[in-house]
Amino acid sequence: MAQVGESEATAGGILAEAKRRRSFAVISHPDAGKSTLTEALALHAEVIDSAGAVHGKSGRRGVTSDWMEMEQQRGISVSSAVLQFTYKDAVVNLLDTPGHGDFSEDTYRVLAAVDAAVMLLDAAKGLEPQTLKLFDVCRSRKIPVITFVNKWDRPGREPLELLDEVEQTIGLRPMPVTWPLGVAGALRGLIEVGTGEFTRFTRAAGGATRATAEPVAADVIAAEEPEFWTTAQDEIALLEEIGAQFDEKDFLSGRATPVLFGAALSNIGVARLLDALVELAPPPAEREDAEGRPRALDAPLSGLIFKVQAGMDRAHRDRMAFLRINSGRFERGMVLTHAATGKPFATKYAQSVFGNQRTTVEEAYPGDVVGLVNANALRPGDTLYAAEPVQYPAIPSFAPEHFSVARCKDAGKTKQFRRGIEQLDGEGVIQVLRSDRRGDQAPVLAAVGPLQFDVVAARMASEFSAPITLEHLPYQIARVTDEAGEEALARQSECEVLTRSDGVKLAVFSNKWRMDVVIRKFPDVRFDPLLAGTVTD
Answer for the pair 304, 21: CB distance below 8 angstroms, yes or no.
Answer: no
Contacts with ligand G4P, 478-507, as mask; x by CB under 6 A: ------------------------------
The rounded distance, in Å, linking the Cα atoms of 177 and 260 is 6
Q: Is there a contact between 489 and 440 (Cβ–Cβ < 8 Å)? A: no
Which of helix, strand or coil describes residue 359?
strand
Which string of x and - marks every residue 506-535 that binds ligand G4P (by CB under 6 A)? Answer: ------------------------------
Give the C-alpha separation, 91 to 376, whole Å: 30
**Least Å distance between CB 77 and ligand G4P?**
9
Task: Based on the shown chain and the rule CB under 6 A, indicate whether residue 180 belongs to the binding site for ligand G4P.
Answer: no
Q: Judged by CB, which is closer to ligand G4P: 33, or 371?
A: 33
The site string for ligand G4P over 142-161 (x = CB under 6 A, - otherwise) reads: --------xx-xx-------
β-pair type (256-261, 145-150): parallel
CB under 8 Å, gap of 24 or more: what pairs does 508-515 form? 508/403, 508/433, 508/446, 508/473, 508/475, 508/477, 508/478, 509/475, 509/476, 509/477, 509/478, 509/479, 510/474, 510/475, 510/476, 511/476, 511/477, 512/476, 512/477, 515/477, 515/479
Residue 467, classed as helix, strand or coil, is: coil
When binding is defined by CB under 6 A, the residue of 5, 9, 23, 35 that contacts ligand G4P is 35
459 binds ligand G4P, rule: CB under 6 A: no
- Residue 495 in contact with residue 508, Cβ under 8 Å? yes
With binding defined as CB under 6 A, does residue 28 bind ligand G4P?
A: yes
Task: Tell me phi and psi for residue 268, to 5 degrees.
Answer: -95, 125
CB of 87 to ligand G4P, least distance (A): 20
**Candidate list 5, 33, 367, 428; residue touching ligand G4P; CB under 6 A:** 33
Q: Does 34 bind ligand G4P (CB under 6 A)?
A: yes
| Closest approach of ligand G4P to the CB of residue 38, in Å | 8
Residue 100 or 287: the one with the smaller Cβ distance to ligand G4P is 100
Binding ligand G4P (rule: CB under 6 A), the pick from 31, 250, 275, 363 is 31
Q: Is the distance from CB of 111 to CB of 119 less than 8 angstroms?
A: no
Q: Residue 33 or 381: which CB sits closer to ligand G4P?
A: 33
Looking at beta carbons only, is 28 or 309 nearer to ligand G4P? 28
Which span sits near ligand G4P by CB under 6 A: 240-248, 262-270, 305-313, 485-493? 262-270
Tell me which residues touch ligand G4P (CB under 6 A): 28, 30-36, 58, 99, 150-151, 153-154, 263-266
